[in-house]
Amino acid sequence: MKTTSFPAIFGAAVLSGLTTLTAAEPAKPNIVFILADDLGYGELGCYGQEKIKTPHIDQLAKEGLKFTQHYTGAPVCAPARCVLMTGKNLSHAEIRGNRDSGNGKKFPGQWPITADAVTIAEVLKEAGYATGAFGKWGLGPSDTSGSPIKQGFDTFYGYNCQRNAHSYYPPFLDSNEKEEVINKDPIPGHLRKKQGEVKAEDYVAENYAPDLILEHALKFIDDNKDKPFFLYLPVVEPHVSIQSPQEWIDKYPEEWDKDREYRGQNGYLPHPRPRAAYAAMISDMDENVGKVLERIKKHGLEKNTIVIFTSDNGPTHGGQDKRFNIGGADCVFFKSRGGLRGYKGSCYEGGIRIPCVVKWPGKVKPGTVTNMPSYFPDWFNTLANIGGGKMPDTKVDGIDLTPALLGEDAPKRAVPMVWDFHNYGGIIAVRDGNWKAVRRNLLKKKSSPWELYDLATDVHEANNVAADHPDIVKRLEKFWLENRTVEPDFPIPAVDGKKSLD
């Protein structure tokens, strides 16, 4: 891997202005990065959720730092994970939308990142970390350059393919680069009940995938407790289909789902109690986060471990039956967007602004909050710095968040944040300071005009002020067009190679 030196905050030389370590402290902290799937900005208690129980993540926020303006790299799974792993925003990323690899298998996996891609796992592995990923990958099948094992991870267990992850009782999970059968009678992720009683027990098989993924993640901590490790845990909850442990469903009120049986009419599996079962998926995930934290504490690693919890994009979007979101979720009932506009698949705030909490004992002050805008590319720089890694020669788009984590002055972002999204008709968003420009339907014959919002006064994006500030719109458009690269696998003909949309 071609690299250039990157100053580490640990070791003999410490960056000026950053908190120093005592001689007795180890040089490299363990790094645990937990990524929820489709968890909305308003679906945690620490972000205002009133119905769903999330005590462990709420405690994580009490003991650490909560971001109020943190953004994913993309509003859907695969490109968000690409941005997170490579540090390149969607104007430079190899993956700019969900797309199957098309290698002919039932669950082939998504379009692979190339061998030239440099992931944060590669950087940390080279810096001496044991690296393990457990959960949903989505960046290329095992027989391609996109395999997690070929992209810096010593071990991987979970769903390589996002479509296989549509069921919590799938036929198999991927163990490194081999398929491990876990259910002889798997449950397909997409069924519809046209008549007869809907019973949750009809959609249960032998092994619940999240439990197996958690077991492997905990074993990874056990096996690497005596050396620095990077644990990447991209869990599948609460992405539909709705299949949650009955003991958690029973903890939520039956009246929530009176006369609201879901029969699969908006895709994915039916469920007799969709609201309770959706909440149960999030609570079960929260409980598993607690088990990870407890295992770290058991081995005496708590003081030397940074834990980051966030989500890959906003909550599940709507469907043709307006009573339910896709898969039977009810994001209106739970106020899943936290009052923001848009859902998953949108570049409005509800699709890309996500919860994010960070705990790092002795470094991150407990119970603190930052309003600093940040997004997925920033984690590459930040984790490389924390781990004493070397940055690749190839350009990345983030900034180092370490000063913000340590309670110092927030680092300045020299250039706007950009989303160059290839699905849902093609959507562009550019944020610079409090100004945010959005343009939709770039893949259609006629694109929508630019919209402009002042997030300082209009976080709900209700007042489009593009007509009042054409100079700002033009400036943000110019930056985006002049700095983006063309990606042949995700073309936008109306934009590629152009410096103006006029």
Q: Which tens digits make up the pLDDT trace of 260-301? A: 999 999 999 999 999 999 999 999 999 999 999 999 999 999
How far, in Å, CA of 185 to CA of 101, rounded?
A: 26
- Is the model's pLDDT at 313 over the cut of 80? yes
Ranges 72-76, 105-109, 330-334, 467-471: which has the least confidence: 105-109
- Is the model's pLDDT at 3 over the cut of 50? no
State the average pLDDT over residues 351-373: 97
Q: Predicted confidence band at 26 (pLDDT cuts at 50, 70, 90)? A: low
* H-helix segments, 144-244: 209-223
State the average pLDDT over residues 122-129: 98
> C-alpha angle with apex 369: 363 to 370, nearest 5 degrees?
90
How far, in Å, CA of 435 to CA of 448, rounded?
A: 19
How far, in Å, CA of 221 to CA of 224, rounded?
A: 5
Query: What residues have CB less than 8 Å from 216, skipping those under 6 apart?
Result: 134, 157, 158
> How confident is the prediction for the chain on average, in pLDDT?
94
Query: What residues have CB less than 8 Å from 28, skipping those under 6 apart?
Result: 10, 127, 128, 129, 228, 387, 388
How far, in Å, CA of 376 to CA of 356, rounded?
A: 11
Query: What residues have CB less than 8 Å from 208, skipping those under 6 apart?
Result: 168, 169, 243, 245
How far, in Å, CA of 193 to CA of 207, rounded?
A: 23
> C-alpha angle with apex 239: 276 to 286, nearest 5 degrees?
65
* φ, ψ dihedrals at 334, nearest 5°: -90, -5
- Is the model's pLDDT at 17 over the cut of 70? no
Q: What is the pLDDT of residue 5?
A: 40
| Nearest of 283, 269, 113 to residue 200 by alpha carbon | 269
Three-class DSSP category at 181:
strand
Summarize pLDDT for 197-228 with one digit per residue, the tens. 999 999 999 999 999 999 999 999 999 999 99
Q: Predicted confidence band at 385 (pLDDT cuts at 50, 70, 90)? A: very high
- Is the model's pLDDT at 51 over the cut of 80? yes
- Is the model's pLDDT at 52 over the cut of 50? yes
- Is the model's pLDDT at 475 over the cut of 70? yes
Domains with residue ranges and CATH for the chain: 28-405 (3.40.720.10), 425-483 (3.30.1120.10)
State the average pLDDT over residues 367-371: 97
DSSP 150: G
CA of 229: how far to CAs of 128, 198, 207, 296, 317, in Å? Answer: 8, 44, 28, 11, 36
Q: What is the pLDDT of residue 502?
A: 66
Q: Packing angle between helix 55-62 and helix 274-298, nearest 10 degrees?
A: 50
For the whole model, what pTM was predicted? 0.94
State the average pLDDT over residues 244-256: 98
- Is the model's pLDDT at 16 over the cut of 70? no
- Is the model's pLDDT at 15 over the cut of 90? no
Q: What percent of the chain clears pLDDT 70, i.e. is strictly above it?
A: 94
